[in-house]
Amino acid sequence: MLTSFPILSTLIWLPILGGLLVLFAGRNNDTAAKWLSLITVGLTFILSIPLWIGFDNSTASMQFVEHIAWIPMFNINYHLGVDGLSMPLVLLTTFTQVLVVASAWDVIKDRVEQYMGAFLIMGGIMVGVFVALDSILFYVFWEALLIPMFIVIGKWGGPRRVYATLKFFLYTFLGSVFMLVSFLYMYYQSGSFSILDFQGMHLGMTAQILIFLAFLAAFAVKIPMFPVHTWLPDAHVEAPTAGSVVLAAIMLKMGGYGFVRFSLPITPDASMTLDWLVIALSLIAIVYIGIVALAQNDMKKLVAYSSISHMGFVTLGMFLVYDIVQSTGSMQGAQLGMEGAMVQMISHGFISGAMFLAIGVLYDRMHTREISAYSGVVNKMPWFVLFAVIFSMANVGLPGTSGFVGEFMVILSAFKANLWYGTLAALTLVIGAAYTLWMVKRVFFGPVTNENVEKLQDLNKREFAIMATLAIAIIALGVFPSPLMEVMHTSVEQLLVQATTSKL
Amino acid sequence: MNFVIPAFAPAIPEMALLALISFILVADTFWSKRYQFATYYATQISLVVVGYLILSSFATTQIITFDGSFVRDSFADILKLFTIAISMGIFLFSREYLVQHKFFSGEYFVLGLFGVLGMFVMISAHNMITMYLGLEIMSLAMIAMIALRRDCAHAVEAALKYFILGALATGMLLYGFSMIYGATGSITFPEMAEIIASGQADSVVLSFGVVFVVIGLAFKLGAVPFHMWVPDVYHGAPTAVTLYIGTAPKIAGFAMLYRLLAEGMPGLIEDWQSLIIMISILSMVIGSIVAIAQDNLKRLLAYSGIGHIGFLLLGVIAATPEGYSASMFYVIIYAITSVAGFGMIVTLSRTGKEFDLISDFKGLNVRNPWLAVMMLIILFSMAGIPPFVGFWAKIVVIEEVVKAGFTWLAVLAVIMAVISAFYYLKVVKAMYFDKPEDDSPLEPVSPSLTWAVSFTAILLVVLGLLPSSLIDLCYHSLKAL
């Protein structure tokens, strides 16, 4: 029986223990460190597949549940479980971990065992964030993640890495402590730290609004939303490639996940009252940050801003719910927007990861991310450009790629809610195309004007495998998104019921 | 007048400790230089013996003896056991330090033991006189320890500062005691509480008394605005002594706070609660902000300690058994973490080189990756980042504040926690991101130090992952009363 095996615990602790083992065993032996890491992440990914196979699409309740008393004095439990909202994110995490290890293979030369160990530990912690059903357990994972990330950015990052990593740490820490106070307040009210109990508990309007704002502070920083996004470009630019991938593909999703797991179900009335705030910030992110991306000279910064813009769709889709229900009177449109937001999260995980890996490939060869340093890369690296263009098209949201599905669903539901929302959101189709394709033109095409570009080598087998895997994932999800949507469907339905049922 | 022989049994650990100290004090002068470590071993053995005596007669109910001046309960026993454990750690670190810095002497250990005796008396005090007695035994021992290096100007200055300011604070405390005695006519804590509750005592005199007592307490704990001595004394004293005064006395200080405020004057909560709130806020703010500017790790830890006292007081503000338990948990964790923190400085320093500047830690990850990880754990635990135990310490006190209805105070506390994270990160940055000034590998002078500091740091991880038993212990010890 699959359910009796503590699969979620394995997915958390296997990479963490593997990471510790790498730290010890890999000292002065880089080859051992790399292989050990690859085996760990490979095994973790394989072990996460039964989650998908054994998943029951017909229920919105938690599956693969594990429940052990942890601190009985405060009713804190080691309580794990997944539903349709978190399961895809867990798989995304384990999948990305494999790419992360593979991408660092020949690139990292300094203290390989610490680098790999930090990423493995991070992998386990990230799974923990998505599967924790006890708010304190969730918070422990949420915060613990900062430690390895702090070290990774600060140690293997670019020239301004120390500034970037301090900013990253303090921003996210400040955001999340307010969430902790809300948890404590709700524990005091309900006598339980269980997230499921929080979702069912009664809360007055003032309390809801304060809790909503506390959650917003925590999640908005992580996503990141305008105007607390400024840490992201710094952190992304200075982080090593794998760090950017983990940041963009997974850590940003934690914010979105937080909204669907905490904000909407726990504070539905406050979400309804303050939805204009989130919608406004999302639209600003989509339009304004998109324009900011246009002005970037640094490829990583450009993709970082594009990430913020795309994550705007996630928050937009989530908080459109109330307007849609109000204007159409049915849940159908709301379902579309919410599922669009969830698909967008997964899809953005693949696309942004792919974009950062592609930039990493160029950076490893040329050691610059300046757009102006490149021109005519296609002449020297045709295979690379093939994949890079696929990823860029997905970033633009071209039909047939995963980027299209989520954005299209959200834009469609935005039109249902309000014509202006729809129009503004649809602007991204223009702006996104502009900044992405302009970069493609300047970097990949045109004449070779630089002697360094002249010396470029095309992808090696390792890089080819990484790129091809991602390209397949992006196209598969774009052409055939229904398996993903089926997994989410029941959970999203339940979420919408929770989000629209008043708690007053 | 008839004389009743009091029950001596509850105080056997204290009496045994005193006997052992007296023995060591005499023996130390006869042990020739060749056997100088005999004093050290005798010290550790005495602590084990006393610990065993406490454990073997562990108090499950409250026993009061010596005509109401001495109490033995599970609260006292648990705090004493932790005091012993922490003192043993301190002495373990100190020995190597004293040898390295060439002032190893038996006096350090004898004075240290006297300090422990003072702490025991404070923890078990059941009236104001006993409390004062314990406090003085402890303080005098500490002053002598700070001045142990009498040829070092910094140390003598620190000792003088501690002595003069300490005397002032003790004066305040005694003044407060006398007022409370004047108003209630009693010096025993429960009797005081009863008379105050009955409303017979003059409330104006009582209010003045409370203010002076709280000032005395705040001074002893090193809370703002009576904190000025802390950084100077921590900095000026030899690190082995800083290790001592920065850790175990805090436990005794908390016991004093509990006995005086919770047992002695719960009826005056309206008077002292607002005072403690102010002291707590100021301590957290000053501790977090001023520490940012420090470049000496001992001073940094001093300010961070002031901030920690502010957090500790949060549990006292709640003024419930759970609140005091939360503070008790906090103080124990704080003491363990501080032993690890100062212990790291001791571990890395060597003859003629104190390892106490943040710049000394530059590139530690290159020079000794293992100790860098241990220091990382210690710092993040102090900052209250999970999964280390410092997180639980913060969460339990903040929980009690929320429960008591001071949510705004909880918000303020967590903001201060974020600010304080900055200076811990500064040290992490030095260790991991900065280039070392000197590339050579750095091994502690003795492997036993590596073991000791690693054990303490790993304890912080283990307690962080499985905090339940320690939390239960603290909560049950106060519930039983």
Q: Judge whether A72 is closer than 8 Å to chain B, CB to CB.
A: yes
With CB atoms and an 8 Å threshold, state whether B472 touches A177: no
Please determine, for residue B477, whether its predicted confidence score (pLDDT) is greater than 90.
Answer: no
The closest of A143, A167, A308 to A235, measured between CA atoms, is: A167
- Are A452 and A491 part of one and the same domain? yes
Distance CA B170, CA B226 (A): 12
Helix, coil or strand: residue A356:
helix
Q: Judge whether A13 is closer than 8 Å to chain B, CB to CB.
A: no
Q: Judge whether A185 is closer than 8 Å to chain B, CB to CB.
A: yes
With CB atoms and an 8 Å threshold, state whether B385 touches A143: yes
Q: Judge whether A170 is closer than 8 Å to chain B, CB to CB.
A: yes
Mutation pick from B399, B420, B473 vs chain A, by most beta carbons of A within 10 Å, is B399
Please determine, for residue A2, whether its predicted confidence score (pLDDT) is greater than 80.
Answer: no
Q: Judge whether A163 is closer than 8 Å to chain B, CB to CB.
A: no
ipTM: 0.91
Please determine, for residue B338, whether its predicted confidence score (pLDDT) is greater than 70.
Answer: yes
pLDDT at B333: 95
The nearest alpha carbon in chain A to B416 belongs to: A174
Tell me whether residue A472 is in a domain. Answer: yes
CB crowding A196-224: b at 16 or more within 10 Å, else e = bbbbeeebeeebbbbbbbbbbbbbbbbbb
Please determine, for residue A3, whether its predicted confidence score (pLDDT) is greater than 60.
Answer: no
- Are A504 and A401 part of one and the same domain? yes
pLDDT digits (tens, 9 = 90+) for A213-228: 999 999 998 888 888 8
Q: How confident is the model at residue A238 (pLDDT cuts 50, 70, 90)?
A: confident
Task: Provide mean pLDDT across the span B465-477.
Answer: 90
pLDDT digits (tens, 9 = 90+) for A114-143: 888 899 999 999 999 999 999 999 999 999
Task: Provide mean pLDDT across the span A136-154.
Answer: 91
Please give the structure tokens belonging to residue B208: 């003045």
- Are A52 and A171 part of one and the same domain? yes
Q: How confident is the model at residue B481 (pLDDT cuts 50, 70, 90)?
A: low
With CB atoms and an 8 Å threshold, state whether B398 touches A188: no
pLDDT at A459: 83
Q: Please state, as a whole number, how many other Cβ atoms lie within 10 Å of the Cβ of residue A480.
A: 11
- Are A69 and A166 part of one and the same domain? yes
With CB atoms and an 8 Å threshold, state whether B376 touches A154: no
Task: Provide mean pLDDT across the span A243-256.
Answer: 88
With CB atoms and an 8 Å threshold, state whether A139 touches B385: no
Q: Which residue in the set B387, B425, B428 is minimally distant from A140, CB to CB?
A: B387
Residues of B in contact with A140 (CB under 8 A): 386-387, 391
Å from A126 to nearest chain B CA? Answer: 14
Å from A11 to nearest chain B CA? Answer: 17
Residues of B in contact with A71 (CB under 8 A): 467-468, 471
With CB atoms and an 8 Å threshold, state whether B414 touches A177: yes
Å from B385 to nearest chain A CA? Answer: 6
Give percent of chain A with pLDDT exceeding 70: 99
Residues of A in contact with B414 (CB under 8 A): 177-178, 180-181
pLDDT at B129: 93
- Are A299 and A163 part of one and the same domain? no
pLDDT at B101: 84
Please determine, for residue A71, whether its predicted confidence score (pLDDT) is greater than 60.
Answer: yes
Q: Provide the number of structural domains found in chain A.
A: 2
Task: Provide mean pLDDT across the span B58-87.
Answer: 91
pLDDT at A1: 41
Q: Judge whether A162 is closer than 8 Å to chain B, CB to CB.
A: yes
- The residues spanned by each domain of chain B are 9-479
Å from B26 to nearest chain A CA? Answer: 48
pLDDT at B23: 93
pLDDT at A425: 87
Å from B268 to nearest chain A CA? Answer: 26
Å from B19 to nearest chain A CA? Answer: 40
pLDDT digits (tens, 9 = 90+) for B202-257: 889 999 999 999 999 999 899 988 898 999 999 999 999 999 999 999 999 999 99
Distance CA B206, CA B177 (A): 10
Task: Provide mean pLDDT across the span A186-210.
Answer: 89
Distance CA A7, CA A66 (A): 9
Q: How confident is the model at residue B325 (pLDDT cuts 50, 70, 90)?
A: very high
pLDDT at A100: 87
Q: How confident is the model at residue B180 (pLDDT cuts 50, 70, 90)?
A: very high
- Are A244 and A382 part of one and the same domain? no
Task: Provide mean pLDDT across the span A94-105.
Answer: 88
pLDDT at B2: 67
pLDDT at B327: 94
Tell me whether residue A261 is in a domain. Answer: no
Task: Tell me the pLDDT of chain B averaged across its residues.
Answer: 90
Cβ-based burial of A188 (10 A; exposed 0-12, middle 13-18, buried ≥19): middle
Tell me whether residue A68 is in a domain. Answer: yes
- Are A411 and A365 part of one and the same domain? yes
pLDDT at A232: 84
Give DSSP secondary structure letters for A108-174: --SSHHHHHHHHHHHHHHHHHHHHB-BHHHHHHHHHHTHHHHHHHHHHHS-TTHHHHHHHHHHHHHH
Please give the structure tokens belonging to residue B156: 């003598």
Task: Provide mean pLDDT across the span B436-456.
Answer: 85
With CB atoms and an 8 Å threshold, state whether B395 touches A180: yes
Which of A32 and B48 is assigned the larger pLDDT? B48
With CB atoms and an 8 Å threshold, state whether B422 touches A170: yes
Helix, coil or strand: residue A55:
coil
Q: Judge whether A173 is closer than 8 Å to chain B, CB to CB.
A: yes
Residues of A in contact with B411 (CB under 8 A): 178, 181
Tell me whether residue A237 is in a domain. Answer: yes
Q: Which residue in the set A154, A170, A173 is minimally distant from B429, CB to CB?
A: A154
With CB atoms and an 8 Å threshold, state whether A169 touches B414: no
Distance CA A13, CA B204 (A): 60
pLDDT at B317: 92
Q: Which residue in the set A139, A141, A154 is minimally distant from B432, CB to CB?
A: A154
The nearest alpha carbon in chain A to B474 belongs to: A73
Tell me whether residue A361 is in a domain. Answer: yes
Q: Please state, as a whole number, how many other Cβ atoms lie within 10 Å of the Cβ of residue A482.
A: 9
pLDDT at B330: 95
pLDDT at A481: 87
**Residue indicated by tokens 């402890």:** B138
Å from B260 to nearest chain A CA? Answer: 27
- Are A333 and A467 part of one and the same domain? yes
Å from A144 to nearest chain B CA? Answer: 5
Task: Tell me the pLDDT of chain A averaged across its residues.
Answer: 87
Tell me whether residue A216 is in a domain. Answer: no
Which of A157 and B160 is assigned the larger pLDDT? B160
pLDDT digits (tens, 9 = 90+) for A469-494: 999 999 998 888 888 888 888 888 88
Please determine, for residue A27, whether its predicted confidence score (pLDDT) is greater than 80.
Answer: no
- Are A63 and A135 part of one and the same domain? yes
Domain boundaries, position A282: 275-504
Task: Provide mean pLDDT across the span B168-181.
Answer: 93
- Are A145 and A287 part of one and the same domain? no
pLDDT digits (tens, 9 = 90+) for A369-419: 888 888 888 888 888 889 999 999 999 888 888 888 888 888 888 888 888
The nearest alpha carbon in chain A to B415 belongs to: A174
Residues of B in contact with A147 (CB under 8 A): 376, 380, 385
Please give the structure tokens belonging to residue B147: 């001045």
Q: Judge whether A73 is closer than 8 Å to chain B, CB to CB.
A: yes
The nearest alpha carbon in chain A to B424 belongs to: A166
Task: Provide mean pLDDT across the span B354-364.
Answer: 87
Q: Judge whether A215 is closer than 8 Å to chain B, CB to CB.
A: no
Q: Which residue in the set A140, A154, A181 is minimally distant from B414, CB to CB?
A: A181
pLDDT at B32: 67
With CB atoms and an 8 Å threshold, state whether A147 touches B425: no
With CB atoms and an 8 Å threshold, state whether A27 touches B418: no
